[in-house]
Amino acid sequence: MYEDKTLICKECGQEFTFTAGEKEFYAEPQRCKSCRDARKGKSEQGREMFIAVCANCGGEAKVPFKPREDRPVYCSECFAKSKEENNN
């Protein structure tokens, strides 16, 4: 159904592959992964992050809010999976 597509990063000009698997979940990116990660890091620099244990997989979850005992916290991967399952 979907095929890999080669794109050009609007930030650094490098070619990168937008995979068929990514197309199922994400809008077409304008930046390569390195530039997206760098941009994301800049926006998080001024934000205090808290470490918690993911309620689903037990892994480390970094969140921009202070976790509470009465509410579950999920890592990025588990949160995305639960969001995906709720949309189906």
- 5 and 39 share a domain? yes
- 33 and 8 share a domain? yes
- 13 and 24 share a domain? yes
- Closest Cα to residue 38, out of 14, 5, 67, 57? 14
Residue 19 structural domain: 1-45
Residues 35-80: tens digit of each pLDDT: 888 887 766 566 788 899 999 999 999 888 899 889 999 998 898 8
Q: Give the whole-angstrom CA distance, residue 32 versus residue 45.
A: 20
- 68 and 85 share a domain? yes
- 31 and 3 share a domain? yes
How does strand 50-53 pair with strand 60-63? antiparallel
Residues 2-40: tens digit of each pLDDT: 789 999 998 899 999 998 888 877 788 888 888 888 887
The confidence score (pLDDT) of residue 55 equals 94
The confidence score (pLDDT) of residue 46 equals 65
- 28 and 67 share a domain? no
> pTM, whole model, 2 decimals?
0.45
